[in-house]
């Protein structure tokens, strides 16, 4: 029997507040050493709330190491479109973790393993059901690797660039296996554009490579937070 833990909230802020309580309680109880973090427009409000709470309540994050999910391939970390830049702007400039890592090569998996694995992982989801940059077609056993982005993803992400031609065609991403090994996963999926992928997830009973988020179906501790009635 597949158990899906999907929590529907009135709006995105309510969902973010739920995640904020969950995560900060775990941090206060020293239950998190390594955390996986996403980019995209989805986590921006959460990062703002999180940074505010950490600073206001003086929550100690100095022993926590962050591992980002993905990065555009060969984009300078100083480039304003890079995920390095995004994370610095929205979170790392506001609160200081022990270390902040991004995937650079296949060694990322052994680096995460050597650090003790991911205790907590926050994920967004692409309109086509991709997680991190694991595009449709990704294997459940996939590891950190370079991936060719699908035209739909390049199109969707072009809203952050001056023109679609500037969007990198490749990215480096944590694999589905890397993601599945996280002890606890919370997926954030807001707005009607995500509804189709979520509905397909609800209707899936086994992994389907065309719907990468379905890799989470048998994960022992995954929760999806959404504002969409499914």
Q: Which positions from 108 to 137 touch ligand GLP by CB under 6 A, shown as an x/- string?
A: ----------------xxx-----xx----
The beta-carbon contacts of 195-204 under 8 Å, at least 24 apart in sequence, are: 195/228, 195/230, 196/127, 197/125, 197/126, 197/127, 197/128, 197/129, 198/6, 198/125, 198/224, 198/226, 198/228, 198/230, 199/230, 200/129, 201/4, 201/129, 202/4, 202/6, 202/230
Question: Smaller CB distance to ligand GLP: residue 132 or 215?
Answer: 132
Annotated active-site residue 76? The verdict is: no
* Given 12, 34, 47, 70, the residue binding ligand GLP (CB under 6 A): 70
Residue 103 within binding range of ligand GLP, rule CB under 6 A: no
Calpha distance 152→64 (Å, rounded): 35
Question: Dihedral of the CA atoms 212, 218, 223, 227 (nearest 10)?
Answer: 50
Question: Smaller CB distance to ligand GLP: residue 41 or 203?
Answer: 41
Stretch that binds ligand GLP, among 4-12, 36-44, 55-63, 214-222 (CB under 6 A): 36-44
Annotated active-site residue 29? The verdict is: no
| Minimum distance, C-beta of residue 62 to ligand GLP, in the bound complex (Å) | 26
Annotated active-site residue 128? The verdict is: yes
Q: Which of 71, 109, 119, 135 is catalytic?
A: 135
User: What residues act catalytically?
Assistant: 70, 128, 130, 135
């Amino acid at each position: 029997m597949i158990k899906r833990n999907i929590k529907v909230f009135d709006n995105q802020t309510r969902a973010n507040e739920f995640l904020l309580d969950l995560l900060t309680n775990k941090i206060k109880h020293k239950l998190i050493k390594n955390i996986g973090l996403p980019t995209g427009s989805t986590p921006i409000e959460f990062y703002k709330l999180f940074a505010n709470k950490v600073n206001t309540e003086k929550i100690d994050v100095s022993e926590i190491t962050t591992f980002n999910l993905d990065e555009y391939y060969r984009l300078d970390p100083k480039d304003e479109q890079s995920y390095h830049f995004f994370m610095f702007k929205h979170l790392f400039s506001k609160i200081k973790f022990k270390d902040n890592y991004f995937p650079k090569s296949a060694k990322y998996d052994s680096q995460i393993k050597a650090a003790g694995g991911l205790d907590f992982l926050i994920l967004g989801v692409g309109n086509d059901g991709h997680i991190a940059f694991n595009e449709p077609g990704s294997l459940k056993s996939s590891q950190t690797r370079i991936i060719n982005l699908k035209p739909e993803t390049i199109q969707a992400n072009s809203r952050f660039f001056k023109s679609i031609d500037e969007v990198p065609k490749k990215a480096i991403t944590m694999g589905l296996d890397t993601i599945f090994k996280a002890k606890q996963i919370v997926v954030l999926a807001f707005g009607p554009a995500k509804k189709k992928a979520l509905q397909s997830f609800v209707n899936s009973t086994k992994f389907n490579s065309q719907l990468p988020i379905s890799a989470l179906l048998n994960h022992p501790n995954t929760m999806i937070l959404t504002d969409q009635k499914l």
